[in-house]
Amino acid sequence: MASTSRGEALALPRVQCPNHPDALLVEDYRAGDMICPECGLVVGDRVIDVGSEWRTFTNEKAVKDPSRVGDAQNPLLNGGDLTTMISKGTGAASFDEFGNSKYQNRRTMSSSDRAMLNAFKEITTMADRINLPRNIIDRTNNLFKQVYEQKSLKGRANDAIASACLYIACRQEGVPRTFKEICAVSRISKKEIGRCFKLILKALETSVDLITTGDFMSRFCSNLGLPKQVQMAATFIARKAVELDLVPGRSPISVAAAAIYMASQASAEKKTQKEIGDIAGVADVTIRQSYRLIYPRAADLFPPDFKFDTPVDKLPQL
């Protein structure tokens, strides 16, 4: 009986405490009651319990959690996961005479989102390779969704857009990865990732901060196994070199690599240019060039409290 006319908005009878209409009701699920917190009046009863129907006693992470019906919901990214599908049968009756399964329609599961789901899988794979945390992956997924819905980069390979989104997400989270690092985990070339990166920034009308030498120090130094002192010294050297404008026009990665080289050569843990070049993705001639630029002022660049294993005048001169 549609007693409420369609003219007014659907006024579902809101349960409220008669004495305190503004109070938010507390739900007691065990008894199925809605209780007013001000006066304790039980306002609604026989509320339907949405908890699980049975209790599970399995150990920590069993393969299937019977309390869940379906995958964890990802509402932000999939546009409402409310579809269901019929799975393959398990008994003998589900196969017909030739051995084919009787119900065959497993296709067309949200075809419009299929490419997006594929891309999310790819993003997760790429991020796992370089151990990126969940927040970066989520940000990447969000960026990809925005770009995908906009359709301005529709012609580009999804993998290229995914890699570029990963790069942008790392930058936005304040932990930039070099293009070469992203290339290492993606099948797309640096050129294509760079192109997609610029296109995405224009499409989403965002911008990213400029990279600095300090962003990469901790990663490069720990990959090389350098102690904290050397890392701090290298950070200081690189920052000072940029402040004194000794390396105009050089990529911050190259300056960082040269600073690490100088710091490591002055300490007990000496690393060769080739090793540093491998970790940073910089050619060793590039490190040599940047090193030549900072070498003349080496004495000014070191932090004041640095313990030299090799004094400044004995630093290698290339």
Partner 1 sequence: MDQNNSIPPFQGLASPQGAMTPGMPIFSPMMPYGSGLTPQPVQNTNSLSILEEQQRQQQQQQQQAQQAQQANTGPGTSGQTPQLFHSQTVGGSTTTALPGSTSLYATPLTPMTPITPATPASESSGIVPQLQNIVSTVNLGCKLDLKTIALRARNAEYNPKRFAAVIMRIREPRTTALIFSSGKMVCTGAKSEEQSRLAARKYARVVQKLGFPAKFLDFKIQNMVGSCDVKFPIRLEGLVLTHQQFSSYEPELFPGLIYRMIKPRIVLLIFVSGKVVLTGAKVRGEIYEAFENIYPILKGFRKTT
Residue from 310, 303, 178, 283 nearest 231 by CA: 303
| Nearest residue to 176 via CA among 288, 298, 281 | 281
Q: Does 252 bind partner 1 (CB under 8 A)?
A: yes
Here the tokens at position 182 are 């992203």
26 backbone dihedrals φ, ψ, rounded to 5°: -95, 135
Q: Is 118 in the site for partner 1 (CB under 8 A)?
A: no
Provide the token pair at 174: 């304040």
Stretch that binds partner 1, among 16-24, 76-84, 243-251, 284-292 (CB under 8 A): 243-251
Which of residues 142, 251, 289, 310 is near partner 1 by CB under 8 A? Answer: 251
CB of 210 to partner 1, least distance (A): 6
Yes or no: say if 286 and 274 are a contact pair by the CB < 8 Å rule. Answer: no
Binding segment for partner 1 (CB under 8 A), chosen from 73-81, 89-97, 203-211, 221-229, is 203-211
Q: Which of 83, 118, 207, 222 binds partner 1 (CB under 8 A)?
A: 207
253 binds partner 1 (CB under 8 A): yes
Q: How many CA atoms lie within 13 A of 195 on its CB side?
A: 10
Q: Which one of residues 79, 194, 214, 227 is an interface residue with partner 1 (CB under 8 A)?
A: 194
CB of 180 to partner 1, least distance (A): 8
- Helical packing angle, 252-266 and 273-280, nearest 10°: 140
Nearest distance from residue 185's CB to partner 1, in Å? 16
Binding site for partner 1 (CB under 8 A): 178-179, 194, 197-198, 201, 207, 210-211, 244-245, 248-253
